[in-house]
Amino acid sequence: MIQAKQELLAALAEAIQELSPGTDLVAAFESPKQAAHGDFACTAAMQLARPLKKNPRELAQALIEALQRRPAFARWVTGLEIAGPGFINIRLSAAAKQAVVSEVLSATAAFGQQPATAQHVMVEFVSANPTGPLHVGHARQAALGDALCSLFKTQGAQVTREFYYNDAGVQIATLANSTQCRLKGLKPGDAGWPESAYNGDYIQDIADAFLAKQTVVADDRQFTASGDIEDLDSIRQFAVAYLRHEQDLDLQAFGLKFDSYFLESSLYSSGRVEDTVAKLIAKGKTFEEGGALWLRTTDYGDDKDRVMRKSEGGYTYFVPDVAYHIDKFQRGYSKCINVQGSDHHGTIARVRGGLQAADVGIPQGFPDYILHKMVTVMKGGEEVKISKRAGSYVTLRDLIDWTSRDAVRFFLIGRKADTEFIFDVDLALKQNDENPVFYVQYAHARICSVIRNWVARGGDETALASADLSLLSAPTEAALMLKLAEYPAMLSGAAAGLAPHDVAFYLRDLAASYHSYYAAERVLDQAPELSAARVALLAATRQVLRNALAVLGVSAPEVMSREAIPEATEKA
């Protein structure tokens, strides 16, 4: 069906040009609101009506006549109908729908993927300062960012996952002081315990490891503790390395590995911050007032100008952000996406304004942002706010330990990033249709069960490519094949819209189409040719489920517990 759709779109583009030469209208199909109306819908006649000053229904009739003269429509379409104010409903032939089965079985894991391109994409996400375990907000970033990277890879892009963090500054100083207090025998609640200190049990763990003069190795650093409780610099470096290692363990538990780590401190040590400030001053985009240096960000849509260098001399936090994004662009990344919490909304205008003011060739709108809202965790019907390990918040590791990696990934991607999200631990543990990740994985495991039984009865899985697909004529089969055919366009749309949740939505819809098919049609105990054709359809569905789950970093189990999924036999 993918080939059929491409040929039909090309024919539609020709017909549009025939009716309106030189128009920039892009040929496109939509899904009808009701399946009974057809397989595709076209709104081109209504879009052309105003510029051509013609009645849309009359234009739709002219477009239909132009389409009927084209071989692709003669080959793949059985009906063209005008509806409403000028919609054209298109009914595909059975062969067009059935073709998707062969296309999936031929492409296997590559189905839906586009050829490699020269586009270099960087996705920066998680970016947690090494001051404690990763929290559930970082977990949502990890799920969104990793899925987005996988989406861009399906579109042929070269993708880099980058983790940016501050290894100096006030928070790191607080970490070092908190650890030193523990080393001196103080604990939260004691007289002399700093009010600003970090209270989690992990601080004592760092102190114990420091006294033991341990060496810690993280993905981006290694450090050996001096064991001297007065050596604050050694405490600081060891604590940073220790927590970077702990974060690495969190990310490993999540099944995520970054390609590069970038230190905020390097922007200062390399001179990039000073160079960026010099560029902005040279471009005449700054001014001094009240002893501070300001940037005219209002010239670029910000609601007010922003301080760059405070009167006491230090730079505000958006200045290194500007330097960092200049560095990203100069490293060759034509598209950069930052996945951050919604509390970063105010930084967008000033960072983009700074990049434009620097005038180094960066296009407007660079970088892109995905801003997510925070996560509320519910367990036993009550909100969970505190983790003993972290001292004040629920961690990524808590979620994984309470449920599973698959559940955490699927749940945190399963809603649009800018919506509030409640992570219900009890729901994530359910083995029924209420749990969306179970519902999808159940579909995959059920198909594997059916195919195992078919093979046990003498079926040959290696011969499915030659199955007679013309036997797939049931309405539920047509609906399932149409859903399979949506997969490539869904991936492209999700990548273009920075919308990894579309993949989770699609998976639920595909699983629902399969479950409806399973309830309506028998696969085993049929004529051999019909069984083979239906198994081929199931094998294609299994492959697309597997491909889409892989984009989300979620496993596709072939076997689930017998309580969850009994071996499929007669019902199939």
Beta carbons within 8 Å of 58's beta carbon, 6+ residues apart: none
Q: So what's the pLDDT on residue 391?
A: 63
Mark which of 382, 398, 429 sits at the end of a domain: 429
Kindly state whether residues 142 and 249 are assigned to the same domain: yes
Q: Indicate whether 32 pLDDT > 90.
A: no
Q: Classify residue 389 by its DSSP letter.
A: T
Mark which of 92, 113, 144 sits at the end of a domain: 92
pLDDT digits (tens, 9 = 90+) for 349-389: 999 999 999 999 999 999 999 999 989 999 999 999 866 56
pLDDT digits (tens, 9 = 90+) for 85-132: 999 999 999 999 999 999 999 999 999 999 999 999 999 999 999 998
Q: Distance between CA 142 and CA 278 in Å, rounded? A: 35
Kindly state whether residues 256 and 203 are assigned to the same domain: yes
The tokens of 373 are what? 């809202």
Kindly state whether residues 260 and 382 are assigned to the same domain: yes
Number of Cβ within 10 Å of residue 327's Cβ equals 16
Kindly state whether residues 81 and 172 are assigned to the same domain: no
CA neighbor of 167 nearest in space, from 227, 230, 247: 247
Q: Classify residue 568 by its DSSP letter.
A: P
CATH number of the structural domain spanning residue 8: 3.30.1360.70
Kindly state whether residues 78 and 31 are assigned to the same domain: yes
Instruction: Judge whether 474 lies within some domain.
Output: yes
Q: Distance between CA 202 and CA 485 in Å, rounded? A: 49
- Give the chain's domain count: 3
Average the pLDDT over 184-198 and give the result: 93
Instruction: Answer whether 412's CB lies under 8 Å from 400's CB.
Output: no
Q: How many residues does the chain have?
A: 572
Q: Distance between CA 99 and CA 1 in Å, rounded? A: 5
Looking at residue 353, its amino acid is G
Q: Indicate whether 23 pLDDT > 70.
A: yes
Instruction: Judge whether 515 lies within some domain.
Output: yes
Mark which of 429, 456, 473 sits at the end of a domain: 429
Kindly state whether residues 81 and 173 are assigned to the same domain: no
The torsion region of residue 458 among left (phi > 0), alpha (psi -120 to 50) and beta comes to: left
CATH number of the structural domain spanning residue 156: 3.40.50.620
Q: Distance between CA 554 and CA 559 in Å, rounded? A: 15
Long-range contacts of 401-407 (CB under 8 A, 24+ apart): 402/428, 402/429, 403/428, 403/429, 404/428, 405/253, 405/254, 405/255, 406/437, 406/441, 406/554, 406/555, 407/435, 407/437
In degrees to the nearest 10, what's the CA dihedral of 138, 245, 330, 139?
A: -10
Q: So what's the pLDDT on residue 572?
A: 43
The pLDDT confidence band at residue 390, using thresholds 50, 70 and 90, is low
Domain that holds residue 488: 436-552
pTM: 0.90
Q: Indicate whether 571 pLDDT > 50.
A: no
Report the largest interatomic distance among the alpha carbons of the chain, rounded to a whole angstrom: 88
Kindly state whether residues 489 and 547 are assigned to the same domain: yes
- Decide: residue 190, CB within 10 A, 0-12 exposed, 13-18 middle, 19+ buried: exposed
Q: Distance between CA 337 and CA 343 in Å, rounded? A: 16
pLDDT digits (tens, 9 = 90+) for 216-260: 999 999 999 999 999 999 999 999 999 999 999 999 999 999 999
- Calculate the alpha carbon distances from 201 to 224, 304, 513 in Å: 21, 42, 48
The tokens of 356 are what? 């434009």
Kindly state whether residues 442 and 417 are assigned to the same domain: no
The tokens of 32 are what? 């009808």
pLDDT digits (tens, 9 = 90+) for 37-47: 888 999 999 99
Kindly state whether residues 253 and 158 are assigned to the same domain: yes
Q: 119-137: buried (b, 16+ CB within 10 Å) or exposed (e) per residue?
A: eebbbbbbbbbbbbbbbbb
Kindly state whether residues 546 and 425 are assigned to the same domain: no
Instruction: Judge whether 203 lies within some domain.
Output: yes
pLDDT digits (tens, 9 = 90+) for 474-500: 999 999 999 999 999 999 999 999 999
Instruction: Judge whether 193 lies within some domain.
Output: yes
CATH number of the structural domain spanning residue 531: 1.10.730.10
Instruction: Judge whether 445 lies within some domain.
Output: yes
The tokens of 58 are what? 């009359």
Kindly state whether residues 31 and 77 are assigned to the same domain: yes
Instruction: Judge whether 306 lies within some domain.
Output: no
Kindly state whether residues 197 and 258 are assigned to the same domain: yes
